[in-house]
Amino acid sequence: MRKRLILALLIVSFAVFTFAVTEIEFWHAMGGAQGTTVNEIVASFNEANPDILVKAIYVGNYSALQQKLLVSAESKTLPALSQAYGNWTARLIPRDAVQELNSLISDPEVGLTDEEWDAIWDPFKKMVTWGDTVYALPFNKSTYVLYYNTDLFEQYGLEVPKTMDDLLFAAMMLTEDKNNDGQIDQYGFGFRTTIDHFMIFLRANGGEAIDIKPDGSVEVTINSPEAKEALQLMYDMAHTYNVALFQGGYLDAPFGDGQIAMFVETIASASYVDSGSRGKHGWAWAPVPMWKVQAPPFAGTDVVMFKGISPEQKAAAWKFMKYLISPEIQAYWSVKTGYMPVTEIALTTPQWKAYEEQNPTVMVPISQIPYGSVDPNVALWDDVRNILGTMVGDVINQKRTVEEGLAWAEQEILLKVAEQQ
């Protein structure tokens, strides 16, 4: 009897050991169809790895996710993995909360091969690296493109703008008071009164808001001739020439309704533009028009791993991170969501090739990757974004002049720099 009991216990113990499952949480901010795709990818990973259970948890929008991460860092209740912008990660690194990935990437058994690491586009590798240390892997990446109404361009006999001068000319030609009531019914261009849209013009003009030196010091460069020209152009398009509709919110709705003929936005807006324009007019996208340089900003988050998890959870989290950047998953993610593949090798997969054949313009954002611009990977950037967002809104809404706005922003950023020293 005793032998039978021992044998039964051994069998039960073996079964528990054999079927032990390592659970990890992955926090994200992907709602709607994008969230559905995240869940599909997680489900496929879990099915292929029965000893691991990844729980994808939708926290809310990016703001909600950022706040939850910061609060959880204080209470030491961070998950194994999460989406995060680079400036969020920069805030968490000094708190010793983020797992460095160099040791995992170079691990001879579970690391990335040279081919796998080299396949990640160089700008995206830069976005996840602080000094010589990698703290994340790229996830949902996009860049800005020019959306334009193909029907209107054909009707007016215009070519797609390639330079900022072309953009201004086309905007003037396309702006029209159709019923002669003294109000513009169709604007040639539209932009948002946000830092993101200001940075498109600023970087195209060869400028930058702050410059991070090799020693980590910060030079505030916002009050520069390049910044003045960029902000002045936005103001002139809105007021002096009256050829641009401006607002704080997204522009896919006014574009779909024919209120604007062109606007610049990330490729992540494609599905919204398509649904808003369907049955009304055709649309396409083109590279962001060049000014002094070509430097369309990148957007999107990375996936970070946090400390404070067990060795088993760490191994499981790393396996899932590698899964996310695998060629087939990258192709699937990109085709389903509209984000760019973060690896060049994903472009060789059958799914991507079929997608590209049916949608040739998907190579427009890919063609911009080599000369795209990245945000500074410093905690300060969060404050800079808030300051510049306020500045752009004030100037375009005529609460401050261009000169007053830039001078105010410079002083506000300098104060933030001093606080962090």
List pLDDT tens digits, range 283-293: 999 999 999 99
Question: Tokens 């574009």 label which residue?
Answer: 255
* pLDDT score of 4: 53
pLDDT above 70: percentage of residues in the chain:
95
What is the mean pLDDT of the segment spanning 392-407?
98
Residue 10 is predicted with a pLDDT of 45
Check residue 216 and give its pLDDT.
86
Note the pLDDT of residue 215: 87
- Cβ burial, residue 298 (10 Å; 0-12/13-18/19+): buried
Count CB neighbours of 47 within 10 A.
8
Report how far residue 29's alpha carbon sits from residue 137's, in angstroms, rounded to the nearest whole number. 16
C-alpha–C-alpha distance, residues 172 and 181, integer Å: 18
* Tokens 């900003």 found at: 297
Mean of per-residue pLDDT scores for the chain: 94
Longest dimension (CA), the chain: 100
Burial class (CB in 10 A: 0-12, 13-18, 19+), 246: buried
Q: Name the percent of the chain lying above pLDDT 90.
A: 93
Domains of the chain, CATH where assigned: 2-135+299-368 (3.40.190.10), 143-297+375-419 (3.40.190.10)
Q: Tokens 């002139």 sit at which residue?
A: 236
Average pLDDT over residues 185-204: 97
Q: How confident is the model at residue 380 (pLDDT cuts 50, 70, 90)?
A: very high
What's the rounded mean pLDDT across residues 223-242?
A: 98
pLDDT digits (tens, 9 = 90+) for 324-361: 999 999 999 999 999 999 999 999 999 999 999 999 99
Other C-beta atoms lying within 10 Å of the C-beta of residue 120 = 21
* Token reading at 45: 């990973």
| pLDDT band for position 304 (cuts 50, 70, 90) | very high
Phi, psi of 376 (to 5 degrees): -60, 135
Q: Quick one: angle between helices 195-204 and 380-396, nearest 10?
A: 90
In the chain, count of helices (H) and strands (E)? 19, 13
Residue 17 has pLDDT above 80, yes or no: no
Long-range contacts of 93-100 (CB under 8 A, 24+ apart): 93/130, 93/135, 94/379, 96/307, 97/73, 97/306, 97/307, 97/308, 98/135, 98/136, 98/304, 98/305, 98/306, 98/307, 99/135, 99/304, 99/305, 99/306, 99/307, 99/314, 100/133, 100/134, 100/135
| 224, 230 contact by CB (below 8 A) | no
Query: Tell me: the pLDDT tens digits for 138-165?
Result: 999 999 999 999 999 999 999 999 999 9
Structure tokens at 31: 């709602």
Question: pLDDT-based confidence at 3, cuts 50/70/90?
Answer: low
Q: Is 218 or 9 the better-scoring residue by pLDDT? A: 218
Pairing label, strands 81-84, 22-28:
parallel
| Cβ contacts of 266 within 8 Å, gap of 6 or more | 142, 143, 144, 145, 299
Closest by alpha carbon to 375, among 297, 288, 301, 300?
Answer: 297
Higher-pLDDT residue of 240 and 9 is 240
Confidence at residue 421, expressed as pLDDT on a 0 to 100 scale: 75
Q: Are 365 and 338 in contact (CB under 8 A)?
A: no
